[in-house]
Structure 1
Amino acid sequence: MEMEKDNSLRITVIGFTTLVIAMGIGRFVFTPILPLMQNENLLTVSEGGWIASVHFLGYWIGATVASRLPLAPKLVLKVSLVIIGLTTLLMGLTDLISLWLILRFLAGALSAFCLVMVGGFYIEYLARHGQVAMQGVVFSGVGGGIALSGLAALVIMQSGIGSSQSWIIFGAVILIAAAFLFLLIGEEIPGKKTTKSAELTAEKTPLNWRNIIAYGATGVGYVIPATYLPVMARTVINDPLIFGWSWPIFGGAAFVSTILAARLQRHFSNATIWRISQLVLGAGLLLPLISGHIGMILLSGLCVGGTFMIITMMGMKEAHRLAPASDALRHIAAMTAAFAAGQMFGPLIAGLLYQVNSTFTLSLVLTSAVLFGTAFLVRK
């Protein structure tokens, strides 16, 4: 029993650290660096939207193929983390937008591999051993990485370090952290052993399209503030000591939210927590429209950051609940692909609309409506 508990702790640390590296930093670090790139006249808001959308295109493709990769899960995880670190570092060694598009595309695809592997194996292991609270800790890694990268970007902005050096620093941090993480990973990612014949005859259950559509809507809804929140804050106050806090607050809310959500599961179903979170997310998008005050923008960051990872966690837990273990990875990949498809179009549309009228108002209203409308698709 003690050995099993120790193994659950190790699994939790691996899952948490993987999401810090791959998602919180590797995937989202573009957001706090974007204002620096704008200040250096390297990118416009519209071009930033294109880079974000290409990154999410990579994430979508990664999500669609992750469950069908003919490689050992442990190898997929290790290779993915190394490539995420290298592509992040290389962002600082060029100023060509064409190369930035390729590098962010690769980082997106590999971050999806990591999320699907963690959601399909580590989370499943913790569920089998009754470690619900540990699942919340694993998913808090995304918010933890966002908060850390946001705080680091805040220090960088104050110290006068440019965007190129920032990319190099973050890439080096990912590679160093990945090297330490590899020491913790055992012989194989935990999971129920299946034979080749069992895999071929594994029961395939119908995909839950209501949940998939609602999950995809979250991708549309959260991605505008997740891409442009520091930019929105900077339009109100140009002092990095103030607007720079928008991203750490976003990440801090995401970090705490999944841990608290694990406690709520004692009293509420996955679907109920998911639905309420999606409604709060939709309301959070409208807050900057009520008032352009920096406080309202930061409160919006709390609402969005405090809900999108809860929805991610509840969605994956529902996939494990509704599908047999042999088929859960396919359901998780389908939901992740829907999420990625939603977030592909969000930054691109928001960036184009911003280019036309220099405001995010219309894109925020539209995405909020989508979130409100699809929240009630989630089945109890």
Structure 2
Amino acid sequence: MINRLMDREDNISIIIAGMFAVIIGLGVARFAFTSLLPSMLSDYLTITFAGVLASLNFAGYLSGSILSIFIKDINQKVLLFRGGIILAIFSTIVLAYSTNDTVWVIARVIAGFAGAMAFVVGSAIVMMKLKMQSKTKAMGIHFSGIGFSILTTDLISRYVLSSNGTWQDSWVVLTFFAAVLSLYSMYILSFDKKVNQNTVKHKFDTKIFTPFVIILIMAYFAEGVGFVVQATFLPDIINNLPGLEGYGNLTWTLVGLAGIPSCIIWMRLAHKYGSVNIIIIALFLQMIGILIPTFTNNLYLNFLSGIFYGGTFVGLVALFMNLGGQLAKHNPVVLMGALTTSYGIGQVIAPLYSVYFIDLYGNYDYALYLTAFIVLGGILLLLFAKRFQTDKSL
């Protein structure tokens, strides 16, 4: 069994290494920030600075995602992947030993870029290395690593804090954890020798930007907004509800648990009922989850809010990108770039308007109202887009 796990060409070892990369790039370099936010707000961060840091982190991720789309050579991808893993580790450890605002700004931008290298580029390497006829199920397992990344980093952070540790101690432990995983991930997700690729180039065809595709891109912006507010503030949102102080991190744990099977479930539903229909349903559930904390402080309903969020955001990324890939046919790069950019702009904007409303009104309600309204706009756009949908099976 050990020999199999150390085999770079074994499918199981490739999937495990890919999930480790997701935990490092998204869990440690991104989502651990959300898990530790309540503790960091208590003695260092302000909510405004936290929102700015989140926005900058997503700006770094956006730049890395766009870059990765245009890197075709798999050997270059391996180098970028390794660089991203190393940057994710170093941009995490500095948070434990510095409270200099400039250092944190730089570290969070780098962490965002590193996350894209570890996740987006890492996923491309996993896809290429897998040796099986149908890679869909295997990649579904790989993307479930997003939920695992939230769950594992949250459990580590909570354990350190419950053991009388500080948030600085949590960053140290998370860095060590990421460093250990990185050894395996970088070893497996590489090649014994330089890979020669025969890349087929297709002429860019502007005809792919049909009214349906343009509306899809706009709807993906709405999902970028819908994803990021809870991704940044959810534990603090719950902790600020009367009677729910201290339940924020448990809600965040439920986000991770719900995220693990979500991609596989939503993709199966899309195959059966059509991607557009399932995207609309997932967006609606996400919108309800966003609104729950604004009208009730019932513990179980707010747990449901976390489940709705975790159960939709991973699946929605897979649904949109899969649909985009089907529509792009031989021109995936430009369309994937347009979708990624639209989603990324939503991610960058949402934390900034959120902290504005939080400062203005002293609570999260209005930020959540606007976020839900934008997600509703995405739903209405997709309902309208169905009029232009030529392939009803999508």
Given candidates 25, 29, 32, the residue that maps to 2:28 is 25
Residue 113 (structure 1) shift: 2.9
Q: TM-score, normalised by structure 2?
A: 0.85
In the TM superposition, residue 364 of structure 1 has moved relative to its aligned partner by 1.0
- Aligned counterparts of 1:124 and 1:321: Cα–Cα separation in 2: 19
Q: Number of paired residues?
A: 369
Residue 198 of structure 2: aligned partner:
194
Superposed counterparts of 1:162-177, under 5 Å: 162-177=166-181
Shift of 1:343: 1.0
For 1:118-172, what per-residue CA distance to the aligned partner results, in whole angstroms no more than 9, with x for missing partners?
4555457779832322222111111110011112222222122111121121122
Mapping of residues 11-90 of structure 1, within 5 Å: 11-40=14-43, 42-69=44-71, 72-90=76-94
Partner in structure 1 of residue 329 of structure 2: 324
Does the CA contact (< 8 Å) of 2:156 and 2:170 recur in 1? no
| Structure 1 residue corresponding to 2:182, chosen from 165, 178, 194 | 178
Q: Is the 8 A contact 1:284 1:301 kept in 2?
A: yes
For 1:319 and 1:260, how far apart are their aligned partners in 2?
Answer: 19
CA distance in 2: counterparts of 1:190 and 1:147, whole angstroms: 36
Which whole-Å CA distance do the structure 1 matches of 2:136 and 2:313 have between them? 18
| Aligned-CA RMSD value | 2.7
Distance 1:114 1:210, change over 3 A: farther
Gaps of 5+ in 2: 1-8, 383-388
Q: Which of 234, 237, 245 is the equivalent residue of 1:232? A: 237
Alpha-carbon distance, 1:230 to partner:
0.8
Distance 2:192 2:36 in 1: 36
C-alpha change, 1:127 and 1:210, in structure 2 (3 Å) is farther
Distance 1:86 1:204, change over 3 A: farther
Task: Report the Cα distance in structure 1 between the residues aligned to 2:149 and 2:194, rounded to whole angstroms.
Answer: 24
Are 1:284 and 2:286 counterparts? no
Aligned 8 A contact 1:24 1:141 in 2 = no
> Comparing 336-345 with 16-25, which one deviates more in the overlay?
16-25
SS in 2 for 1:27: helix
Query: Shift in Å at residue 251 of structure 1?
Result: 1.1
Paired AA for residue 163 in structure 1: W
Identical-residue share of aligned pairs (%): 24
Equivalent position of 2:3 in the other structure: none
Contact 2:27–2:150, Cα closer than 8 Å, also in 1: yes
Q: Which residue of 1 aligns with 2:6?
A: none
Query: Which fold has the larger relative contact order, with Cα–Cα distance below 8 Å and residues 6 or more apart in sequence?
Result: 1
Residue 209 of structure 1: aligned partner: 214
2:134 matches 1:113: no
Give runs of aligned pairs for residues 75-154 of structure 1, distance below 5 A. Answer: 75-118=79-122, 120=124, 122-123=126-127, 129-154=133-158
Residues 15/265 of structure 1: CA separation in 2 closer, same or farther (3 Å cut): farther
> For the residues of structure 1 that align with 2:124 and 2:216, how far apart are their CA atoms?
17
In structure 1, what is the equivalent of residue 345 of structure 2?
341
Q: Does the aligned pair in 1 maintain the 2:22–2:149 contact within 8 Å? A: yes
Cα contact 1:119–1:332 (8 A) shared by 2: no
Unaligned runs of 5+ in 1: 1-5
| Kept in 2: contact 1:122–1:190 (CA 8 A) | no
What is the TM-score normalised by the length of structure 1?
A: 0.88
